[in-house]
Amino acid sequence: LCLTAQHLSTLIFFSPSFCRLVKGLGNRDIVQIACGDQHAIALSRGGQLFTWGQNTHGQLGVGSQSTLIPQPQLVERLQGISLAQIAAGGAHSAAVSLSGAVYSWGKNDFGQLGLRDTKDRDCPSYIGALEHWKTVFISCGADHTAVLSKEGLVCTFGAGGAGQLGHNSTRNELTPRVVAELWGARVSQVACGRQHTLVYVPSLDKVYLFGSDEEGQLGHERKPTQLIPLPINSPVNTGESCQENNTSQEVIEIVAGGNQSIVLCKKNENSYLNGIATLKDEDVDTWISNFGLQRWESIKKNIRLIFSSEACINGSFLEKRDKHFKTSKDFSGVDLSEVQRFYDKISKKPKVLQEVQKEIERLLPSLSSSPISPENFRVYLVLPFLLQGEDDSSYHSLQLLAKAIMKLQPKDLQTLECLWSNLETSFFKELVILYQRVSQKNLSQFIVEVRSCQRNPLNLYPHETATLQILQILYQVNSRTGCRVQENNFYVPQVKLIIRLCWVIHTEEMALWKLTKYPCIFDMQDKIIVHYTERNALSSPFSTIHLLSMGHEQWVFPVRRQCLLQDIWTHLNDAPTQQFRRILTVSFVGEMGQDEGGPSQELFSVAARTLCQPSTGAFRRLASGLVWFHSQASSCEHTFLRIGTLCGMALYNGRMVPFPFPRALYKMLLGLTPTLEDLEELLPAAGRNLQGILDEECDQILESLDLNFTIMEEGDSMVAVELKKNGANIPVTKGNRLVLFFFFLSFCLVMSV
């Protein structure tokens, strides 16, 4: 197989007697190709990877659908990954992304896939052992693999029987292992033959080889196997190369065949590796310049190539200074400032902006729903900031993007949420505003269509719910990260009009109830109105939501003041589920009066005071005046279930149940992390002492306090409890005091309950 020299875009197949075009790739711009023993892989400029040939070990990466695939097949599992380089071995394949992630698949009987086992893989698998290793190149032998990092380190793994791994042994390696003999030598090139390996160290101007020399492929007559890298005896290593060409500056390139080694001496450095299309500053400058019709056609082709490809977008706007090599579930590797600058530039050229957004709109329905790497998620971060316009096209694309996000698996959605949580506040806020704006647009359209009888008031379309889901998820992310964005940025004012519309239409199945799944869009006043609307709808015999509807069924609730809790629990135990939808009417036995609010409020107030008494065993009252759970609270689970029911009844009936709970409890119910201030509210003395420990800058003073990782817990007697294993023997220092705080907070608010 070969690529034509001019653009590396035409793929030609050679048989014993003739060559012909690979028809399956005839319209593809191919930039790289690699061949194994009986299979081939090709990378297109649009970022797609194709494979064909024998598939007996899964070396094509397309599953085990067939042992022979004669036509190029797309490797779907790598869709969206911006690949920098590909390689093929005897019956295994590998690929490296622009951010250094390495994927391997195929035969693995010697561990040549680097996955810690010898099981074949029929789909690309991520080599976790090379994470953040800054891999820039990979080469595959018959049954071994070599990897080169940007710092010039070499790792090898797989078959080592001929010494081809360079570890001074003939053992096989199931995981990547650094070639120790090359440590300190900055390697710039690596190439694998069938059972031998070459590396080039430019600072020494030497080529090193190791592995099998049975066919003379190591270039010397020492022994049949070379277990460690040794320089070859050639003009390259003696400084005599290329003298006949009278060149003052030579460039070395190494190539390994099956049982051959080739060292090329060239005048010019011209890598045979071309890459996928990514956005470059010079391209953008061309796009926004004044251009004629002929150049515009070329620009459109370039825009189409990049923005119709998930992989090309994921490979653009990367962080500079190698930061993108640190891409993980916590760090995207994308520079959103560059995305914003790009958007600002093309916004001044509407024709270019429209073309970019048109290609994005075409791409969105085909986004990968099964990401293989954190790099796949970059597209979800980049695209919203290219759709900032307040026009129908931008709104439509944001809706399509929302639907694509909601198709992700829960674990993948969790990864995206993590990346959102680590965005700079300005970008996170802009993301919130974008989806708030499109949600406003959607609900405004809903109102117009319902009023004009063009829309069933019961239904919300999928794209409408998708954008609301995104907004709610962003709200939850915001809550978990300390509420960086104010809540009013999530409010959608149109819900007020929908509430009013709800009263006019008099339907309990109004879309309003579907909107309550997304509470972030309601302000506090709207939430209160919706709560009472829902309560009235549930309690009315006609199940109407009109706020002024009358004739609610009542729950007659007689209690004896001297046996208040006992009577309450009896009523709750005997009540069927539908009973809780009725309005509570309380009467105290032996006392006059009707319940117009007073008796029912008194019921909840007296019940709360009684339950806070030590005799009930549910809570303990602290010096702060607040109540918290006993350490043996787990034995009172049935009581807490009743207390929760009582609180729900109070809310449903518009009454207060005045339990003096601390703010920390409400945060924990909302899934938020309590802070030192919350601990200080509950336990003022302990909070102040802990603050003093965190503020102390003098090591000697901390040591003099003689503190360790234990806490004194009150019960029948004072007992020292270790906050972590062997805590009594761990002194508190400046280095671990923050750890002490988290353990102390966890024990007081979680573990002790």
Higher confidence at residue 166 or residue 669?
166
pLDDT at 12 over 80: no
331: amino acid identity, one letter: F
pLDDT at 551 over 60: no
pLDDT in the model for residue 40: 96
pLDDT in the model for residue 238: 53
**If one looks up domain 34-68+76-266 in CATH, what number appears?**
2.130.10.30
Mean pLDDT of the chain: 87
Let me know: does 164 contact 140? Beta carbons within 8 Å: no
Q: Which of 220-234, 267-281, 489-503 has the highest mean pLDDT?
A: 489-503
- Token pair of 416, please? 């995206």
Helix/strand/coil for 706: coil
Cα distance between residue 52 and residue 67, in whole Å: 10
pLDDT in the model for residue 368: 86
pLDDT in the model for residue 13: 55
- pLDDT, tens digit (0-9, with 9 covering 90-100), for 620-646: 888 888 998 876 665 677 888 889 999
Give the residue from 434, 447, 429, 444 showing the smallest Cα distance to 405. 434
- pLDDT, tens digit (0-9, with 9 covering 90-100), for 252-296: 889 998 888 888 887 766 666 789 999 999 999 999 987 777 889
Burial class from Cβ neighbours inside 10 Å (0-12, 13-18, 19+) for residue 94 reads buried
**Alpha-helical runs (H) found in 325-481:** 336-347, 350-363, 378-382, 392-406, 410-421, 425-451, 462-480
- pLDDT, tens digit (0-9, with 9 covering 90-100), for 573-611: 988 888 887 888 999 998 887 888 889 999 999 999 999
State the CATH class of domain 676-751.
alpha beta
The predicted model gives 130-156 an average pLDDT of 96
Chain centre to alpha carbon of residue 107? 30
pLDDT at 3 over 50: no
| pLDDT tier for residue 548 given thresholds of 50, 70 and 90 | very low
pLDDT in the model for residue 251: 77
pLDDT at 552 over 60: no
pLDDT in the model for residue 222: 60
Task: Give just the sign of the alpha carbon dihedral 578, 581, 583, 586.
Answer: positive
pLDDT at 509 over 60: no
pLDDT in the model for residue 23: 81
**Alpha-helical runs (H) found in 106-246:** 235-238
Q: To the nearest whole percent, how much of the chain has pLDDT over 90?
A: 55
| pLDDT tier for residue 545 given thresholds of 50, 70 and 90 | very low
Domain residue spans of the chain = 34-68+76-266, 554-661, 676-751
pLDDT in the model for residue 544: 44
Let me know: does 112 contact 120? Beta carbons within 8 Å: no
| pTM value > 0.85 | no
Higher confidence at residue 501 or residue 6?
501
Pick the CATH number of 554-661 from 3.40.50.1260, 3.30.70.1380, 1.10.10.1800, 3.90.1750.10: 3.90.1750.10
Cα Rg, the chain, nearest whole Å: 34
The predicted model gives 72-87 an average pLDDT of 96
Let me know: does 58 contact 106? Beta carbons within 8 Å: yes
Higher confidence at residue 284 or residue 214?
284
* Least confident stretch, 98-102, 189-193, 713-717: 713-717
* Least confident stretch, 548-552, 640-644, 735-739: 548-552
The predicted model gives 425-431 an average pLDDT of 97
